[in-house]
Amino acid sequence: MPNSDNDEAADEHLPKNYQDFPDGSLLRVIFHNFLTYEHTSFVPTASLNMILGHNGSGKSSIICGICLACGGSPKSLGRSEKIQEYVRHGCQEGYVEIAIADQKEGPQTVRLTIRAGKAPEYRLNNQVTTQAELKLTIWAWPLPSGVFPGAIDNPCAFLAQDKVKSFSEQSAIELLRNTEKAASEDLSVEHEALMEQRHDSTTIEDKCATSEKAVKNLENEIHKLEPFVENYRKKLALQTKLRLLEKKMKILEFEKAEKEFGVECENARAATQEYDQMLIEEKTTVVRTLRQSAEELMKRMDDTVDKRSMEIRMESAIEKMESIKKAFKRHDRDMAKAQETLEATQEKHRQALEDMEGFEEWNEKFKLTEARLNNIEADFRRKQDKIREESYQHEARVRKEREAISDANSILRDRIRVLQGLDGNAYKAYEYYMKNRPQFDADIYVPIIDITLKTPTAAKILENSVGMRDRTMFVCQTKADEQRMHANNGINTTVLPPEKVHREDIEARSPPAMKRIGFEMLAAECFDAPDPLKQFLINVSGLGRILVGNQQVDRNMEAVSRAVENTPYGVFLTPTMRCQVSKSKYSGQSSHMQTLLRDAYTFRDPCYRKAPQAKRNVQQQQQAMEQLRQAEQMMQQKQAQLREKIQAVQRERDVVRNECSEWRSKRHLVGTWQADVKLAEENLKRLEEQNIDVDAAEQEFEETRANAIEQTLDMFRKAVKWQKAYLENYEEVGRHTFIEMICKNKVRMMKLEEEDLRKKLNELSHTKREAEANVKSALNRKRAAAEAMSKTCQLKHLKEKDMDAAEKRIFEKLSKLFEEGGVPENLDALELEISSEQARLRLAEDQGEDGGIEHEHQMEKLKLDFVEEQSRHEKLVENRRVLHEELGTNIENWREKVEEMIDHINENYVKYFGELGCRGEVGLETPENLLDIAKYGIMISVSFRAGEKMKRLDNKVQSGGERSVATMLYLLALQQLCPVPFRCIDEINQGMDPTNERKVFDIMVGLWNGSQGALTKTQYFLLSPKLLHGLDMRENVNVVMVNSTLTTSHGEIYDTESKLAASLSRLQTRA
């Protein structure tokens, strides 16, 4: 197919017989600046078009152009998903134009124009349209072959390069959907409708499950609330009766208070009347008489004031004199007592001073002793601090030793776990060795247990240097130990006595010459191990002759290999490769073998980066722990001795302190007696200063007595004078005396009467006040009872005639309730009944669940929700049943059609596989739940070898060629049911063996040569980079050769047609 810029009009002509092409077939494809082509016109035939060409010639560009121009997506091509990248390199714009056969309307032209940085432009018959509109318009064409554009994205009809794998990767479900789209659009639409219907039924099923769960939840909630509600209702009944009794109690209390108030009012009125009457009598008689008598008595006071005054004066003088005498006698006694006290105190003070003798000498001795004891205690504290520091250090050593033992044991346990994972018998043997270690003559080593890695890459080095068998080898040092270990079967053992351990092998290092070319070390240098074990690994694995190199060796592999040829090091490792260099002893030729390094597996555990516990270190650790325990005992002994010395010093200090306390008491006693002496002296001095003058007091008494005698004489003289006047008026005085006596008698009687009347008045006044208080209290009780009754019973009083209509209804209702409930009319009985009901209520609250009104409301709401949800659930279940019946019927109808379709496909598939000498089947895969329409699929089973069971077609089971054969035969089997106008298959024969490829080609050609079937009306584009010898190229096979040339005149220069004819003749292929 030439690439030419000239005579484009001639290239773009339609086929001469284009009117005979089936509707929907491609008449012409034009590529302009599209992928490989600058400008090319491709005119296919109506049957099989085999497009041949070497890789890169542009075969796949044809398939890409057809797919995109028909409205397909770049994702179907397995190439770039950006459509702008399909423009030819270096160009800004390109297009693909196809002509589609339509016998009724004539050829239809579709052009796709692609511009860099812009959206693609679609034109249908030169009219701008969109990709979606283009598909809708093409689908609207009344093509007898059906709606073909939908097959563009269907791998059953359009299989681009590198999409064979994606075809086999299709799930059974996807294969069924694509087969339906390719074979019958009605089935595909029906399948979609069934999936929608199933989605609706699934939604109803979910709703049914949710509703059923909600019903169960509501039932559980109601069941949980029942104890609360039952207890609440029980308490409510008790509370209702209790409230009824309390209402009756309030009514009875009001009646009682009202009666008491009436009684108290009567008592108060009687007391007030009696009190008022007595008060009037008192005011009219007693008070006036008493006042007159008092005035008369005041006028008749005798004239004895001067006599009483003299008596008082004399009595005062005598008392003063006696007081001074007593004070004088008391002063003498106090002086004598003060003198005695002073002398006794001075004697005590002197004795105390005598007791203080020797205090200075003792004080000096005390200071020396105190200093000595302080020094001793300071020394003891230093020793104690030293012992405490040693104790801390000892505890740190013990803790460190224990941590070391714990770490070593942890490392050993991890390594034993690795050994157990590698070899169970070796693990049991090592357990036997650990339990019976004292019975063995020497230590036994195992690489898995006793190796310690020194570098991060050591694990990988050993993984690629030490064999698996050698990793669990038991290395014994004596033959007897090996025999003991052989008591455990299934283990690998060897004997390496100490005399066969060579230090030069163990301590070998990489030569300087090897280091200069990049070898950092020998493999034996990357780990540590006991000498017998390391010698064993060097002997069996040659670790002393394996070099380990760095990245420099990787980069200079060839030069390094030549440098290693003539050295004793036949193997070396790089970061990625294991290289073995050998030289033939006969021919002298060198051979190099390289393999990739395996990743570390056995020694990858972090426990191999730390050294394990040495075999003989256990006894050393026990000895160290014993030494630490002995050191601890010695420190405890030192501490005990030091405590004894401290206690001895403390006892000595206690003795000194007791002596100090005694001296302190003596000194305090001296101070006390000294203060007492001073106080006695001051008291004596104060008494001496006091001076009581008895003579002056006697003289003052005599003067007072003389003055009193003089005044008495003067009074007597006046009395004689008054006597005379008295005698003169004797008769008048007698009369007045008699009157005074009578008056006094009356006054006394009136006082007695007055006292009685006052008592009676006070009693009446008290009675009145009590009556008023009782009335007030009764009134308050009545008001409280009325308020309580109003609050409890909504009644203000109990007088029916004064009640309004509402109060009468309440009163009648309460009376009826009291009568029906048998409420007592007696307060005591009512109180007893209330107490009984309260006890029952408390018992109910204590025994049952704590329910409340909120639980009652919640229960009512839950019951309503339960009825509503149950009704909804029943409706959903009925709807689900109806939908399932309808869906089951529809699926059964659809399934019959699909099984019929698959039977036709399977019939052809079995026949085609039989022609290849293999077996293949196609069947419908049904789910467990037949209503799960989305889980139906097509299962392809194939067998390419005799006696082999058929296996499901899968990209992980069959080879690439086998998948290509199975895919191509499935497409051919689908042809009779898939009325698409054209199919495109790109390099499906890649991976096929020549025999199968030839048979598949013959099947295809045979189908096209028939007169019946959809394939005879299907245009085929089959792309291949090769052509087998001896293929049956009949007239309906159009071979198109694709070449990549730089000029358009290559046909004339190179005689392409004659060369092509000669090639076909050599291939025994008829053109």
Let me know: does 463 contact 602? Beta carbons within 8 Å: yes
Residue 896's SS3 state is helix
Let me know: does 803 contact 211? Beta carbons within 8 Å: no
Token representation of residue 846: 């204590």
Separation of first and last alpha carbons in the chain: 16
Tell me the CATH number for domain 8-169+992-1020+1027-1066: 3.40.50.300
Phi, psi angles (nearest 5°) of residue 443: -70, 145
Element (H, E) at 119: none
| CB neighbourhood size of 203 (10 A) | 12
Beta-strand relationship, 546-549 and 519-522: antiparallel
Token representation of residue 268: 């108060």
Let me know: does 739 contact 293? Beta carbons within 8 Å: no
In one-letter notation, the amino acid at residue 335 is: M
Which burial class, exposed, middle or buried, applies to 177 when counting CB atoms under 10 A from its CB (0-12, 13-18, 19+)?
buried
What residues contact 1044, with CB distance under 8 A and at least 6 apart? 3, 36, 56, 57, 58
Which burial class, exposed, middle or buried, applies to 325 when counting CB atoms under 10 A from its CB (0-12, 13-18, 19+)?
middle
Let me know: does 33 contact 21? Beta carbons within 8 Å: no
Tell me the C-alpha distance between 527 and 508, whole Å.
13
Domain spans of the chain, in order of start: 8-169+992-1020+1027-1066, 306-354+693-728, 359-400+623-689
DSSP 445: B
Token representation of residue 364: 């000096």
Residue corresponding to tokens 């190199």 = 549
Element (H, E) at 1067: none
Tell me the C-alpha distance between 936 and 940, whole Å.
13
Give CA 129 to chain center in angstroms.
Answer: 57
What number of helices (H) and strands (E) belong to the chain?
29, 23
DSSP 283: I
DSSP string, 577-627: EEEEEEE-TTT--EEEEEEEPPPP-TT-SGGGGSPPPPTTHHHHHHHHHHH
Give CA 221 to chain center in angstroms.
Answer: 28
Phi, psi angles (nearest 5°) of residue 1026: -140, 170
In one-letter notation, the amino acid at residue 411 is: I
Q: Which pLDDT belongs to residue 111?
A: 93
Q: Which pLDDT belongs to residue 788?
A: 66
What residues contact 801, with CB distance under 8 A and at least 6 apart? none
- pLDDT digits over 464-512, tens only? 989 888 888 999 999 989 888 887 667 889 999 999 999 888 888 888 8
Beta-strand relationship, 493-495 and 519-522: unpaired
Let me know: does 83 contact 74? Beta carbons within 8 Å: yes
Q: Which pLDDT belongs to residue 297?
A: 45
Q: Which pLDDT belongs to residue 477?
A: 92
Let me know: does 95 contact 33? Beta carbons within 8 Å: yes
Torsion of CA 1040, 1043, 1048, 1049, to 10 degrees: -90
Token representation of residue 663: 């001296």
Residue corresponding to tokens 């089947």 = 921
Tell me the C-alpha distance between 26 and 65, whole Å.
12
Token representation of residue 60: 């796949």
The whole-number mean pLDDT for each consecutive block of 10 residues of the chain, a chain of 1071 residues, reads 41 74 86 88 84 79 84 76 85 91 86 89 89 70 44 59 60 82 77 82 81 85 75 65 65 69 68 59 52 49 49 68 71 76 81 78 81 83 80 75 68 85 87 88 90 88 89 91 79 91 88 87 90 91 89 85 83 88 71 85 83 57 73 81 82 82 80 81 75 65 70 64 56 57 66 67 64 66 68 68 75 72 71 70 60 73 83 84 85 87 86 84 87 86 85 79 80 71 69 70 66 63 71 72 61 58 57 47
Q: How many C-alpha atoms does 135 have within 13 Å on its Cβ side?
A: 12
| CB neighbourhood size of 187 (10 A) | 20
| CB neighbourhood size of 530 (10 A) | 17
Element (H, E) at 124: strand 121-124
DSSP 15: P
Let me know: does 467 contact 426? Beta carbons within 8 Å: no
